[in-house]
Structure 1
Amino acid sequence: MARNRILPIFVPHWGCPHQCVFCDQRTISGCHRPVTATDVTRLLTEALPLAGQGAEVAFYGGSFTAIPAEQQQELLDAVGPFLRTKAVGSVRVSTRPDTITPETLERLWRGGVRTVELGCQSMDDAVLKASGRGHGREVVAPAVALLRQYGFSVVLQMMTGLPAQTDESALKTAWALAALQPDGVRLYPTVVVRGTVLAERYADGSYRPQTLEEATALGAEILECFLRRAIPVLRIGLQPSEELAKSVVAGPYHPALGELVKSRVYRNRAQALLETVTPGSDTVLAVAPNRVSLMTGQKRCNINWLRQRYGLHSLRIVQEPMEDWEIRLQSSESLDKINR
């Protein structure tokens, strides 16, 4: 999928027919009133000179296709002049899988939308019910099929740490979504935001959020699932903001959660190689040049953990031309010969 510069326009909780227990889009997005066509025109006029030709406008936050049709059309019409001059290359919207209809998709396509993101969250009906989603898993595959029929790129969003969800349930969701072959996915561990139903459940002890370690470990397993299917993971964790940070009551909120999860994947993959290494060895792992920091881990956490786990005398990370996510085990002796 082409990765153009994205200009986000938030329509918080606009169009959502249900109040999910974890959701307060106004806090998450930092936007507290409905967006108008005038707002869209102003925002794009200000932002496009900095974004460059062909940027992608993204309506995020609410369920765009559940907004009244007239208001959908007004927002899309506001983008129209920028599409015609090619200042904007395309539009993407975020919505729910139970609001996908042929009539709606025809409107979106005419309005320049080429990517639709579906907030699936889980493929476990018990989890969806406990989360107040208002739909079951049965609506997801037909929605994806209809989007494909109309030619849209499809991004699927899932969550971990939801009420009634287990790690096994979350992994089954990941494999089920991967089987639909989306063009990309987003992974959002659940955080408890002040003012939500989930905050009340956390306060009375009926809901226990994931710890940061739990979210990182599970996130790494889920990321591996999508890597094996060559499905891009576009984001892990909520976009950090000052307002969101002040509103999080509990849960695995971290401004660099994606980096933690990717780093854990590298640690997991390194373990398989180090199982054959003799304790006390001087060990060298090679990764792609842009992946050294991920293999090393924040504050050298991967290096320290692997050294202790396998009783290594030393562990060095070096860079070599290779694919992302690839790791090679080298002997320190052969590396010393190369360096001399």
Structure 2
Amino acid sequence: MLKKYPFFLPLAGCRGQCVYCDQRAITGITEVPSPEFVRRELKKLTEPREICYFGGSFCRFPKEKIKEYLDAAVQASPKGSTLRFSTYPGDLRDDELRALVKGYPISRVELGIPTLDPAVLAACRREADPQKVFEDIALLMEDSLPVGVQMMIGLPGQSRESSLNDLERLATLKGAQRWELRLYPCLVIAGTELEALWRGGKYIPLTVEEAALWGGEFIERALVLGFVPIRIGLQETEALAARAVAGPHHPALGELILAEAEARRLAKNSPKGPWRVPRRGLSMFTGHGRFGIKRLAIHAAMTENEAEERIIFER
């Protein structure tokens, strides 16, 4: 697997702005890098990498600009490099654009699908028609373009049941394919419309524990359905720490969610243990106030000491 080499294009191509979004604040990047900048940076590489265009909606650039970015990635990077980009599901509806993209070594098309619930989409001011989303994804699958999805929890008006239903619907569409998954619990970022809703008492963000439990159930189910989680929670940056004013902002939120997912899985597979766990997962159980052990004890209906005694950490 190639190491990723990301370029962030904050809000580039976005036709509107979702109530929760400020990609410049999240990444600390305020300017969209040009294709010429991409070329200069990639010429410094000595080994193949997975060149990534994240942020905004890549395929909403004019076709000429898309081609410039794709050419820059392919022509300036070492031989054997691949490309990954994020975009809205409907942005590749155009046959000519899909044909253009297919001419490049695309490793993954990541689709922003925070929710498929019409009421939640409306509350987020998110431009999307769930039925068209399925049709658009089907086109990508027919053209053998590898798909990944970026989803969210804790959105305005969103319930745990709604998010799990979204996951089930996408699983039905993907079939046996193993789609990559990024899961982002919703944060309140300073300056966004969501901040105004929160300060006005019209939105209640998740706590860290609520996000861990909801996210854990989501990830556990995603694994069963054949998704491959590759990222949970936003990348921690100084910019994010300075601008996250409410919600489940925690540097180890991803590990807390994984701990809940693993606790649920273990208790389901062996209700009373013993449980064999790779030693690399030790911190999930013993770190963060023994969060994983506490959650396993709850799911297995026993004391924390009993749960801990029945965990076998293997090398």
Same fold per superposition (TM over 0.5): yes
Opposite residue 73 of structure 2, the aligned amino acid is V
Q: Distance in 2 between matches of 1:313 and 1:199?
A: 42
Alignment deviations for residues 20-69 of structure 1 (CA, whole Å, 9 cap, x no partner): 111111112221112211210122233x23xxx32100100110001122
Q: Which moved more, 1:312-321 or 1:7-16?
A: 312-321
| Greater displacement, 65-74 / 285-294 | 285-294
Per the TM alignment, residue 150 of structure 1 is displaced from its structure 2 partner at its CA by 1.8
Equivalent position to 2:289, from 299, 304, 321: 299
- CA offsets 1:157-176 (integer angstroms, 9 cap, x no match): 11111111111111111211
Report the Cα distance in structure 2 between the residues aligned to 1:296 and 1:270, rounded to whole angstroms.
Answer: 16
In structure 1, the residue matched to 2:2 is: 4
1:145-160 matched pairs, under 5 angstroms: 145-160=138-153
User: What is residue 91 of structure 1 aligned with on the other side?
Assistant: 83
CA RMSD between the two structures: 2.2
Q: Is the deviation greater in 287-296 or in 6-15? A: 287-296
Take 2:206 and 2:63, find their aligned partners in 1: how far apart are those partners?
Answer: 38
Amino acid at match of 2:18: C
User: Which residue matches 1:100?
Assistant: 92
Write the distance in 1 (CA, Å) between the matches of 2:294 and 2:19: 39
Corresponding residue of 1:33: 31
1:183 alignment partner in structure 2 = 179
**Secondary structure, counterpart of 2:220 in structure 1:** helix
Contact 1:191–1:252 (8 Å) recurs in 2: yes
1:240 Cα deviation from its structure 2 partner = 0.9
8 Å Cα contact 1:209/1:250 also seen in 2 = yes
TM value normalised by structure 1: 0.84
Task: For 2:266 and 2:165, locate their aligned partners in 1 and report how far apart those are by CA, in whole Å.
Answer: 25
- Map of 2:202 onto structure 1: 206
Counterpart of 2:123 (choices 117, 127, 130) is 130
**Residues 1:307 and 1:178: Cα distance change in structure 2 (over 3 Å):** closer
2:276 to 286, 294, 314: 286
Identity rate of aligned residues, in percent? 36
Per-residue CA deviation, residues 272-321 of structure 1 (Å, 9 max, x unaligned), is 57865xxxxxx854212322332334332333565686236553332237
Distance, in Å, in 2 between the alignment partners of 1:170 and 1:99 is 23
8 Å CA contact retained: 2:179, 2:226: no
For the pair shown, the structure with the greater C-alpha radius of gyration is 1
C-alpha contact 1:220 1:261 (8 A) present in aligned 2 = yes
Q: Which has the higher contact order (CA 8 A, sep 6+)?
A: 2
Give the corresponding residue for 1:333. Answer: none
Q: How many positions carry a matched residue from both structures?
A: 307
Are residue 82 (structure 1) and residue 67 (structure 2) matched? no
2:252 paired residue among 234, 250, 256: 256
Segments of structure 1 that go 5 or more residues without pairing to the other structure are: 277-282, 322-340
1:112 to 1:313, Cα distance in 2 relative to 1, 3 A: closer
Q: Deviation digits for residues 134-169 of structure 1, max 9, x if unmatched?
A: 112112211211111222110011111111111111
Q: What residue identity is the alignment partner of 1:60?
A: F
List alignment gaps of at least 5 residues for structure 2.
none
User: Counterparts of 1:14 and 1:128 in 2: how far apart (Å)?
Assistant: 20
Amino acid at match of 1:254: H
Query: 2:260, 2:295 within 8 Å by CA — same for their partners in 1?
Result: no
TM-score, scaled relative to structure 2: 0.90
Of 311-320 and 25-34, the range deviating more from structure 2: 311-320
Q: What's the counterpart of residue 71 of structure 1?
A: 65
- Per-residue displacement from partner, 1:89-129 (whole Å, max 9, x unpaired)? 21011000121222221222224333100001101111111
